[in-house]
């Protein structure tokens, strides 16, 4: 399995959903980075399950244990290894249907790829549970970036067909991003929150699920980060974003909407003020030629509906080699968008730190 990413800083992720624990090794961090462990814990809490009816009832605290690479709250330069113990597994929920392919999951592809040796419980290594170590790694990266003034924040742009306002691409304030990270259900227009929550609860009652879109921004990035073609900031971030389970689309700036404009409107015209060059608009999302231009880096990520639903669905029994029906019971999120936000921010921080 491919569990390593990065060149200057290498991240190696490990574990399965129902194994003893999950974790990550970060190799290449410079020594002397002071870590705020309470801030890391708060990031972990943002992703953690079991907080309300909008998420799974699986009650994992996502408490991390640092095994190496940190001494007196500072990085030592040695590989930083952190582990998160699994403590609330219900593995028997999966034994009854282990031969039935769950629609929307990696059961079939994983079984074929790994010759039926992969851990099927809770999705094993394919599970969204494995994003917890990503949030830990991203929290470390965020702190390294914060020392350079770089701030990352996100909001829920949509749940199903209910939409929030978008960021003002050309002007995103630090206070606004920081405020969003403190919200349990971050939206720009507060009145949209209840409508979105109602849509999620309605899906839960109907034994179904819904998806949505997360809009993320990184501000105070200097001009000049990234390279054209294979090491563009867009391709690096897209690589990481598509590594998050359930991500099905990524767009930067106006994204697909830019195709509806004339070039004269799509182009971001320049101006200089106090010897600083900026653009009046930010339709390209802060990136030109794969390189940051100093404007806010803005993108949106599409999250599909949670594939585990209790409604009866058609499938195949892999052992009997015959058609069958499946109802996926257990503890599942009716919508994972809310919990995916800190994961999106985490891999964004990892990607930006790699380039810097």
* Annotated binding-site residue? 167: no
The strand ranges marked E within the chain are: 4-5, 10-15, 21-27, 64-68, 70-71, 74-75, 80-85, 151-159, 162-163, 212-219, 247-252, 270-273, 276-279, 287-288, 291-292, 297-303, 313-317, 322-326
End-to-end CA distance of the chain: 28
Q: Using the 8-state DSSP alphabet, how is residue 30 labeled?
A: P
* Annotated binding-site residue? 147: no
* Annotated binding-site residue? 155: no
* Annotated binding-site residue? 68: no
- Six-digit token string for 82: 């952190």
Residue 88 CA, chain-centre distance (Å), reads 22
* Annotated binding-site residue? 166: no
* Annotated binding-site residue? 125: yes
Residue 2 CA, chain-centre distance (Å), reads 18
* Annotated binding-site residue? 304: yes
* Annotated binding-site residue? 87: no
Closest CA to 110 of 131, 127, 126: 126
- Six-digit token string for 24: 């990550």
- Helix pair angle (337-355, 233-241), 10° resolution: 140
* Annotated binding-site residue? 306: yes
* Annotated binding-site residue? 259: no
Residues annotated within the binding site for NADP(+) are 47, 53
Residues annotated within the binding site are 47, 53, 125-127, 289, 304-308, 331
Residues annotated within the binding site for FMN are 125-127, 289, 304-308, 331
């Amino acid at each position: 399995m491919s569990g390593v990413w990065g060149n200057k800083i290498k991240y190696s992720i490990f574990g399965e959903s129902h194994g003893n624990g999950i974790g990550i090794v970060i190799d290449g961090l410079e020594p002397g980075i002071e870590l705020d462990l309470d801030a890391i814990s708060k990031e972990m809490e943002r992703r953690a399950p079991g907080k309300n009816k909008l998420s799974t009832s699986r009650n994992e605290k996502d408490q991390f244990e640092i095994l190496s690479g940190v001494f007196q709250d500072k990085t030592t330069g040695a590989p930083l290894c952190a582990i998160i113990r699994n403590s609330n597994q219900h593995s028997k929920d999966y034994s009854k249907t282990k031969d039935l392919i769950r629609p929307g999951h990696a059961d079939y592809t994983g079984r074929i790829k790994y010759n039926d040796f992969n851990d099927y419980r809770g999705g094993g290594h394919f599970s969204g549970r494995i994003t917890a170590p990503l949030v830990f790694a991203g929290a470390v990266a965020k702190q390294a970036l914060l020392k350079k003034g770089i701030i990352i924040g996100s909001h829920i742009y949509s749940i199903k067909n209910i939409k929030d306002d978008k960021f003002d691409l050309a002007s995103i304030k630090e206070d606004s991003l920081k405020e969003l990270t403190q919200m349990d259900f971050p939206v720009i227009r507060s009145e949209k929150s209840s409508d979105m929550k109602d849509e999620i609860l309605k899906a839960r009652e109907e034994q179904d699920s819904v998806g949505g879109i997360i809009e993320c921004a990184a501000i105070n990035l200097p001009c000049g980060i990234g390279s054209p073609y294979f090491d563009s900031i867009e391709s690096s971030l897209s690589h990481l974003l598509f590594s998050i389970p359930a991500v099905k689309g990524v767009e930067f700036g106006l994204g697909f909407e830019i195709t509806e404009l004339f070039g004269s409107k799509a182009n971001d015209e320049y101006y200089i003020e106090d010897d600083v060059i900026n653009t009046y608009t930010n339709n390209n999302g802060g990136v030109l030629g794969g390189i940051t231009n100093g404007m806010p880096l803005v993108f949106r990520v599409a999250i599909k509906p949670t594939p585990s639903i209790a409604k009866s669905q058609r499938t195949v029994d892999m052992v009997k080699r015959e058609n069958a029906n499946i109802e996926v019971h257990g503890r599942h999120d009716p919508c994972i968008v809310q919990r995916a936000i800190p994961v999106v921010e985490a891999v964004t921080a990892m990607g930006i730190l790699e380039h810097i």
